[in-house]
Structure 1
Amino acid sequence: MNEPFQPAGEGLRTRLFQIIFESDTPLAKGFDIVLILMILASVLVVMLDTVEQFGTAYGTWFYWIEWGFTLAFTLELAIRIYILDKPLRYFRSFYGVIDIVAILPTWLMLLIPGAQTLVIVRLLRVLRIFRVLRLMQFVGEGRLLVEALKNSWHQIFLFLFTVFLMVTLFAALVYMIEPAEAGFTSIPISVYWAIVTLTTVGYGDIVPVTPLGQAISTLVMLIGYSIIAVPTGVFSAEVIRSIRSDRYSDQACPGCGHDRHEQRARYCMKCGTWLDEETQYPNAPETDD
């Protein structure tokens, strides 16, 4: 099994496990398709509910439809807990957390009634849109992306920390140079300007007016163009490495030493030597004892 989970017992639990956690049977594929459609429909309901004209006209319908989705996803999560031998491991996994986030906001709204909590209720409603993250578990490449993020988070963190230092330095420098009339009334505002400039977005709501400030802006923009590809390159390299690790084996050829063969390869692509040292070469000549 590709999943790191096991059913809690034989019989019904094993059958449900094959339907929910696997996708190599028509019934399992049908379950995945239905679940994907429900996730997309629930996200669409959340998005339409934020549109004033739709929320006013169909708010009651959206409310009950949302509760229908929440009950369905809650039942699904309960079944997952029932069939797994170690449900706590699932709760600690990425998709387990997403499953909880998918249903938690609607249930929490029952505990936060009243108009005075309108902002919190709105936040909880919007959080339900994160159900779209559940779609990653139905895409084979989604695992590669998560694995690549895990493997490259040290480099990305170092990159972001370096950017933070540069942004703070340039923000303090421009705050010291530019007059308050230009909009640089505080260092946090200057940090906002530095981030917008470094990412080459350039909203134009805060613009340096002094020659030195404009020169610094030019430098920041050039630096932004220079470093914006760094995290993309790091992440892309990890994705490629993950793909290669899934496709290729590190086993060295006993004949020439070449170690970049596909997982299912039986002969060396360089010299044609039989690679599986644990089994006898099928074309080996028979020897008389």
Structure 2
Amino acid sequence: MEKEHDFIPGRERWKREIFRIIFKADTKRGKLFDLILLALILLSTFIIMMESVSIFDAKLHRIFIIVEIIITVFFTAEYVLRIITLRNKKLYIFSFFGIIDFLAILPFYLSLFFPITKYFLILRMLRMLRVFRIFNLLDFMNDGKFIVTALKNSSRKIYIFLMFLMIFSVIVGSMMFMVEGHREGFESIPQSVYWAVVTVTTVGYGDVSPGTPLGKFLSVLLMLAGYSIIAVPTGIVTAEMRAKRQNLEKTCPRCGNDDIDDDARFCKICGEKVV
């Protein structure tokens, strides 16, 4: 989220006022602005979804376009004001939320030349992440970072697991190609590998299925293996999160108290320094 020291308002009074309204949520006008922003994001997302429904688009196409233009003008003005009111403009433009704000308006202007790109406006939903700042739920963002860090630390194990899964699927798919003998759905090894991936992930579309007794037996083994395989990445990430949580836990070296807040510097029982 935006940090106060990252976004320093300009000297002009109007810039300070706009900065506080746009970047802060500690005033009535700031909260009202953020609520309006969230409402427009939801409205824009709803319109994009309804435009993909031919019945509604045929009846309300012109209204959809007008509303979308109004929302885009609002978002564009907001994006420009965010840049104007900051001293370090580059820091915001290339920040996570700065990029999201830019992607929220770019598809509309691209759709003037390439109409199909208007559906990329659904990326505006990412701006809903600001709800954590608006309703003082920043602790949830910290928990989100904790999960992302755990995924990052266990990425190598997950990559190895995925590589094993791909090799396993190719081998089983090739076996099914030989067993089924060029039957429908198993005319080639790539098609058989597709069946193996669908089966091992327990998705089971049902569009391809074996017909021979041996093929059905292999399918049973693959489906049973799929339930075990799915639990592997979950266990990897869970173990990483547990290890990271244990590393974050503080214990007082003097009295052994482990009920210490993450941001605490001293023990609440004996006053011993824990950082």
Q: How far apart, in 2, do the equivalents of 1:227 and 1:257 lie? A: 41
1:274 aligns with 2:271: yes
Q: 2:215 is matched by which residue type in structure 1? A: G
Query: 1:240: Cα distance to partner?
Result: 7.1
- Aligned pairs for 1:203-282 within 5 A: 203-235=205-237, 250=250, 252-256=251-255, 258=257, 261-263=260-262, 268=267, 272-276=269-273
- Residue 171 of structure 1 contacts residue 190 of structure 1 at CA under 8 Å; is this kept in 2? yes
Q: What is aligned with 2:6?
A: 5
Percent identical: 36
Query: 1:57: Cα distance to partner?
Result: 0.6
What are structure 2's unaligned runs of at least 5 residues? 133-137
Query: 1:173: Cα distance to partner?
Result: 2.6
Q: How far apart, in 2, do the equivalents of 1:138 and 1:243 lie? A: 26
- Residue 45 of structure 2 contacts residue 122 of structure 2 at CA under 8 Å; is this kept in 1? yes
Q: Name the CA shift for 1:182/1:226 in 2 (closer, same or farther; >3 Å).
A: same
Q: What is aligned with 2:194?
A: 192
From 57, 64, 69, the counterpart of 1:67? 69
Query: Is 130-139 or 253-262 further displaced after alignment?
Result: 253-262
Q: 1:128 is matched by which residue type in structure 2? A: L
Q: Name the CA shift for 1:79/1:204 in 2 (closer, same or farther; >3 Å).
A: same
- Aligned pairs for 1:46-57 within 5 A: 46-57=48-59
- Residue 199 of structure 1 contacts residue 224 of structure 1 at CA under 8 Å; is this kept in 2? yes
Q: What is aligned with 2:121?
A: 128
Q: How far apart, in 2, do the equivalents of 1:97 and 1:238 lie? A: 30
Query: 1:138: Cα distance to partner?
Result: 1.8
- Residue 18 of structure 1 contacts residue 28 of structure 1 at CA under 8 Å; is this kept in 2? yes
- Aligned pairs for 1:171-186 within 5 A: 171-186=173-188
Q: Name the CA shift for 1:210/1:40 in 2 (closer, same or farther; >3 Å).
A: same
Q: How far apart, in 2, do the equivalents of 1:167 and 1:96 lie? A: 41
Question: 1:202-237 CA distances to partner (integer Å, 9 max, x unpaired)?
Answer: 111101122332222222222221122333445556
Query: 1:242: Cα distance to partner?
Result: 8.1
Q: Name the CA shift for 1:229/1:73 in 2 (closer, same or farther; >3 Å).
A: farther
Q: Name the CA shift for 1:267/1:88 in 2 (closer, same or farther; >3 Å).
A: closer
Q: Name the CA shift for 1:79/1:184 in 2 (closer, same or farther; >3 Å).
A: same
Query: Is 130-139 or 165-174 further displaced after alignment?
Result: 165-174
Query: Is 236-245 or 100-109 further displaced after alignment?
Result: 236-245
Q: Name the CA shift for 1:202/1:25 in 2 (closer, same or farther; >3 Å).
A: same
Q: Name the CA shift for 1:52/1:136 in 2 (closer, same or farther; >3 Å).
A: same
TM-score (norm. length: structure 1): 0.77
Give the match's secondary structure for 2:210.
Answer: coil
User: What is the CA RMSD across the aligned residues, in angstroms?
Assistant: 3.1
